């Protein structure tokens, strides 16, 4: 299955896709694209069919489609890919560029510190906020005995 370099890459690619486009753009602002940057596959929007499972855990069924934008870039001698939900080409371009630059050992540490970790914290904060808001509407129902 996944070897550990792939696992690390899968994690940062997931995070880049889950990031808010504006946050990603702001974080990547500090990093100029390498001189040899070439767009192997310009951002293109297409469809994935979302699959569900009958009863949540049973056999698969085709649920409906979702727009996805993909992009591939060669930068600094590395090939970066991105698959991002939605139809925002800039999001996919920045994610692909970040993926290529994160594979470059000279830049990896600074990107991890200035892009990946802040995006992870922002994502965690968003999820925690939503969950604590939802938790404020947690209820205790009491059964009232009939005839009393």
Partner 1 sequence: MYVAVKGGEQAIARSLELLAEARRGDTAVPELELAQIREQLRLGVARVMQEGSLYDEELAALAIRQAAGDMLEAIFLLRAYRTTLPRFGYTQPLDTTAMRVRRRVSGTFKDIPGGQVLGPTYDYTQRLLEFDTTTPAVVKSAETPLPSNMPRVLDLLDAEALIERIDAGSDPEPMDLTREPLMFPADRATRLQNLARGDEGFLLSMAYSTQRGYAESHPFAGEIRMGEVDVVVCPEELGFAIEIGAVTLTECQMINQFHGGNGVPPQFTRGYGLSMGEGERKAMSMALVDRALRCDELAEPSYAPAQNQEFVLSHSDSVEASGFVQHLKLPHYVDFQAELSLLRTLAAQHATDTDEQPLSAAGGQRP
Summarize as ranges the residues that interact with partner 1 (CB under 8 A).
2, 6-7, 9-10, 13-14, 17-18, 44-68, 70, 72, 81, 83-87, 127-143
Q: Which is nearer to partner 1, 17 or 111 (CB)?
A: 17
The Cα–Cα gap between 129 and 21 comes to 19
Which residue's entry shows tokens 């005995």? Answer: 145
Q: How far is the CB of 110 from partner 1 (least distance, A)?
A: 23
Nearer to partner 1 (CB atom), residue 30 or residue 124:
124
Tokens for 39?
Answer: 């767009």
C-beta of 28 vs 96, nearer to partner 1 = 96
Q: How far is CA 32 from CA 10, 59, 101, in A?
A: 23, 47, 10
In the complex, least distance from residue 71 CB atom to partner 1, rounded to whole angstroms = 12
Angle of helix 89-102 relative to helix 4-18, nearest 10 degrees, comes to 150
Identify which of 68, 72, 71 has the alpha carbon closest to the alpha carbon of residue 46: 68
| Of residues 44 and 110, the one with the C-beta less far from partner 1 | 44
Task: Tell the smallest beta-carbon distance from residue 32 to partner 1 (Å).
Answer: 26
């Amino acid at each position: 299955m996944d070897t550990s370099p792939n696992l690390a890459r899968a994690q940062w690619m997931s995070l880049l896709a889950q990031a808010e486009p504006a946050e990603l753009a702001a974080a990547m602002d500090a990093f100029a694209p390498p001189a040899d940057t070439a767009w192997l596959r310009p951002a293109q929007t297409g469809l994935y069919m979302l699959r569900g499972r009958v009863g949540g855990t049973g056999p698969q069924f085709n649920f409906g489609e979702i727009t996805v934008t993909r992009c591939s870039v060669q930068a600094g001698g590395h090939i970066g890919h991105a698959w991002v939900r939605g139809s925002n080409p800039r999001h996919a371009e920045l994610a692909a560029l970040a993926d290529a630059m994160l594979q470059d050992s000279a830049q990896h540490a600074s990107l991890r510190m200035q892009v990946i970790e802040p995006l992870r914290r922002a994502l965690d904060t968003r999820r925690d906020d939503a969950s604590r808001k939802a938790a404020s509407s947690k209820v205790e129902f009491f059964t009232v005995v009939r005839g009393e």
